[in-house]
Chain A
Amino acid sequence: MTTFLALSLTGLVVGCIYALTACGLVVTYTTSGVFNFAHGAIGMVAAFTYWQLSVAWGWPAPLAFLTVLLVLAPLLGAVVERVLVRPLYGAPIGVTLVATLGLLVTLLGVGFLAWPPDTTRVLPKFFEGHTITVFSLVIDYNQLLVIVTSIAVAVGLRVFFSGTRLGIAMRAVVDDPELAALAGTKPERVSQLSWALGAGLAALAGVLLAPLQTLNVTDLTLLVINGYAAAMAGRLRNLPATVAGALVIGISSSLVLGYAGPQVVNYVRPAIPMILLFVAVLFLKQERLRAGSLAGLRMPRTAGLRQSVGVGLGFVVVAGLVSGQLSPASLAIGGQGMVLAFIMLSLVLLSGYGGQVSLCQLTFAGLGAYAMGKSGGGALGLLAAIALPAAAGALVALTVVRLRGLFLALATLAFAQAMDQIFFNHALGYGGTLEIPRPRLPLVDTGDDRAYFVLLAVVFALGAIGLLTLRRRAFGRRLIALNDSPAASATMGVSPVMTRLLVFTLASAVAGLGGALLGGLHGSVSPNDFLLLNSCVLLLLATLGGLYTPTGAFLAAMSYAFFPELQKLVPELGQVQFLLTGLGVLALGRNRYGIGGQIADAGERLRSLRVHQVDRVEVARAAG
């Protein structure tokens, strides 16, 4: 009984923190219509800032606590609203989704830079050493603080949103900002206040959570994902349901941890929130929530078959020539860029053409590598590396086929995180690292690094040509029609379900093959290669590249792969890779076509210039 109570208490405390996070998410969503993926990252930065003030600089804890909560975090929220959210007003939901993912990665970068992971940082608990005892259950003041704060916040928010004019105005502004302005409320100011409030709640959760564990940039950022399921339980709207959901998650996880055997604990417990999130996304009615996609943007011109084959051949030849000049280290990095670009092709297909956001492409890549490694390579291995991810992709697609935009993103996120925890992280998966053989070919010695690099270039070129061909075919047009208007394409006789299924499966297969080739490049893979965060970065990179063109994918992947080299030249840069990717995405606010779009545009301009010149020559000839 005492064990039960003690476990429940621990679970309750954790659940309260989840509730705080989830309430913050709901607040931002209901008051600005944006699901803030960076919520956890804000909490992380707040926790570290609190550590900086109170531990490193020796401020009194209450002063540091209040400064972070009431000044710095709201300020950050207000700035984020002004710089990031406001310019995106009216943009497709998919774009705001990528933007907050960009903010997440930016803040991660800031975290790594400002608080390098090489030292251990620990925050003392609040009121260290003070406890009270209730029915033989020892409760320390820190736990009490968490519980009391959470109750106060939940009640306070409820009163605020239905009882005060500002709270009502915050909800009204999401409904109809123009009407709010007509009623004398400045929508921008209200939105800014609501972001400040959301950031304050994120900070509160972060600061309360931090003393319960060692400070770690990624862990603190990702813990918020546990709150996602709770937020979905409240359908991103209902605060009491959100709190209830969070408490259930916290307490059930704690009880499982306490009573189940270590096997179950290791495999299942970390995944419980993810499984709940997946279920919540799938089964809760969503009709009143806004979904959305990356759709609605103008597509760059698609190259013809002759042109793409020509460019592809040229690409391979150049890769062959360049490979002769590269050092072994650069060959490995270039190869990595090449494979990343190939995996990104799956995102061009899925997100660029199909308008679907996926945060689990590297999970499929990991499955591909796994199949290749376990099957011992060879033609059969390659086949398995395509078939296993394709089958998994089809299975995921079958369950999520109804979902779009935010919900698809959340479902794929849950899938990726759960796979991380259950599959990749344990003996079931790699058990540390897994040897991955390179595919064997007749005539070519793929064991040679240079040959393998050229092989990767060939694979990328073939993939790009195939993708462009698909784009020009009926299937590609159907996909894009579906993206533009599901309702209209349904009346045109296109089966949305079938099309989505096919494209998701195909994209998984591409990612899987890429994963196998990536494994072959380095000789082995570890669970860390396919983390959810890396999938996020991959999506951001693809977005930076423009999402619509293989060229953009290639450039983004290459610059990402070679960035660590630059870092070696300028060591002060530190973990700047994340920061730059994030900032790049934030800069996309105004130019949503990315690098690839720019290049396609430039090509278009050149072409029209040429045409004009020809015209002029002909006019001159006719006149003369």
Chain B
Amino acid sequence: MTTPAHDALELIGLRAGYGSIEVLHGVSLRVPPATVVALLGPNGAGKSTLLKVASGTITPKDGCLHVGGVHVNGADAAALARAGICRIPEGRGIFPNLTVAENLRMWTGVGDLKPAEVAERTYGRFPRLGERRKQVAGTLSGGEQQMLAMSRALLVDPAVLLLDEISMGLAPLIVAELYELVGSLAQQGIAILLVEQFAQTALAVADHAVILSHGRVTRTGTPAEVEEHLSAAYLGGAA
């Protein structure tokens, strides 16, 4: 694999938080294209916060946020979405009161796809969504909702995909299906930053892993290297 000129996503000494509470105390992290980076760490470490900063939902207080080598501190979420950042939030990243088809219509705000192509890409991958296109999304099963949320990644061709605990509360079979999709998206060249509670699941698909605890990066390396330190990080993090 050749090293491209720029990382798809780069965080340098990033500080951010909520109001006066700082959650991230200077975090640096790189995600090259076509790479899956697993972001692990105990509850409350700041993983979700990091993804929110990277997607423009929270503005960093200090440090640099680079997307494709361009400095984008202060850009809002909608602008970053247009710049190729796609974050699937924790919980269900869908609009519960819209139908499946209307949700998909919302996803194409960035890409401007034809309806036929939208149908092909999503329903081709997740036929169950195709059967339920007129159903209100809030009444879908948890797995179907997560498929619908993930279908945004299929439709917008993002440069960077930020995934926050997509396996939460789902059956192993569906998790496997979703991770298969993650793998194939990475192969298409998308840079993926993956937050996951179940370290094993994430490390299995990751090229690279980072442990975050108390708002600081405490370890980076290959999945094998990081796995060794994992329990220490979680226990240490809890202390």
* Chain A residues at the B interface, C-beta cutoff of 8 Å: 162, 165, 168-169, 171-172, 174-176, 178-187, 288
Contact = CB atoms under 8 A, between A and B. Distances in A.
A182 B89 contact: yes
Contacts of A171: 95, 97-98, 102
Contacts of B94: 179
B95 A172 contact: yes
A180 B76 CA distance: 12
20 contacts: A165-B108, A168-B106, A169-B106, A172-B106, A176-B95, A178-B89, A179-B93, A180-B95, A180-B106, A181-B57, A181-B77, A182-B55, A182-B77, A182-B87, A183-B106, A183-B110, A184-B78, A184-B109, A184-B110, A186-B78
Given A175-B95, A176-B95, A179-B93, A185 B109 contact: yes
Contacts of B95: 171-172, 175-176, 179-180
Contact of B98 (A175, A181, A184): A175
Contacts of A186: 76, 78
Interface in B107-136: 107-110
A178 B86 CA distance: 13
B66 interface: no
A162 B136 CA distance: 13
Contacts of B229: none
Given A179-B93, A182-B57, A182-B89, A162 B109 contact: no
B216 interface: no
Nearest to B82: A184
Most chain A Cβ neighbours within 10 Å, of B78, B81, B89, B94: B78
Nearest to A177: B77
B221 interface: no
B40 to A, nearest CB: 23
B105 interface: yes
B96 interface: yes
A165 B105 CA distance: 7
Most chain B Cβ neighbours within 10 Å, of A162, A182, A186, A288: A182
Nearest to B94: A179
A162 B102 CA distance: 8
Contacts of A174: 97
A448 B220 CA distance: 87
Classify chain B's interface size.
20 to 34
Q: Which 5 A-B pairs have the closest CB atoms?
A: A181-B77, A184-B81, A184-B110, A175-B95, A184-B109
Contacts of B55: 182
Contacts of B93: 179, 182
A165 B77 contact: no
A174 B109 CA distance: 17
Nearest to B103: A172
Interface of B: 55-57, 76-78, 81-82, 86-87, 89, 93-98, 102, 105-110, 152, 156
A175 B106 CA distance: 12
B16 to A, nearest CB: 16
Contacts of B76: 181, 186
Contacts of A187: 78
Nearest to B87: A182
Contact of B152 (A165, A176, A183): A183
A171 B138 CA distance: 14
A168 B102 contact: yes
Most chain B Cβ neighbours within 10 Å, of A168, A176, A183, A185: A183
Contacts of A175: 95-98
Most chain B Cβ neighbours within 10 Å, of A165, A176, A184: A184
Contacts of A185: 78, 106, 109
A247 B67 CA distance: 55
Contacts of A288: 97
Given A172-B95, A175-B97, A182 B81 contact: yes
B20 to A, nearest CB: 18
Contacts of B105: 165, 168
Most chain A Cβ neighbours within 10 Å, of B109, B110, B156: B109
A171 B96 CA distance: 11
Contact of A183 (B56, B57, B109): B109
Contacts of B87: 182
A214 to B, nearest CB: 42
A180 B87 CA distance: 11
Contacts of A182: 55, 57, 77, 81, 86-87, 89, 93
Contacts of B97: 171, 174-175, 288
A568 B83 CA distance: 61
Contacts of A178: 57, 77, 89
B93 to A, nearest CB: 6
A458 B55 CA distance: 61
Contacts of B81: 181-184
Nearest to A169: B106
A181 B57 CA distance: 8
Nearest to B83: A184
A165 B108 CA distance: 9
B101 to A, nearest CB: 9
A180 B96 CA distance: 12
Contacts of A172: 95, 98, 102, 106
Given A179-B93, A182-B57, A184-B78, A165 B86 contact: no
A178 B91 CA distance: 13
A45 B91 CA distance: 45
A162 B106 CA distance: 12
A178 B77 CA distance: 8
A169 B89 contact: no
Contacts of B152: 183
A181 B86 CA distance: 10
A172 B56 CA distance: 19
A29 to B, nearest CB: 13
A168 B76 CA distance: 21
A451 to B, nearest CB: 55
A97 to B, nearest CB: 21
A370 B87 CA distance: 63
Contacts of A165: 105-106, 108-109
Contacts of A168: 98, 102, 105-106
B122 to A, nearest CB: 14
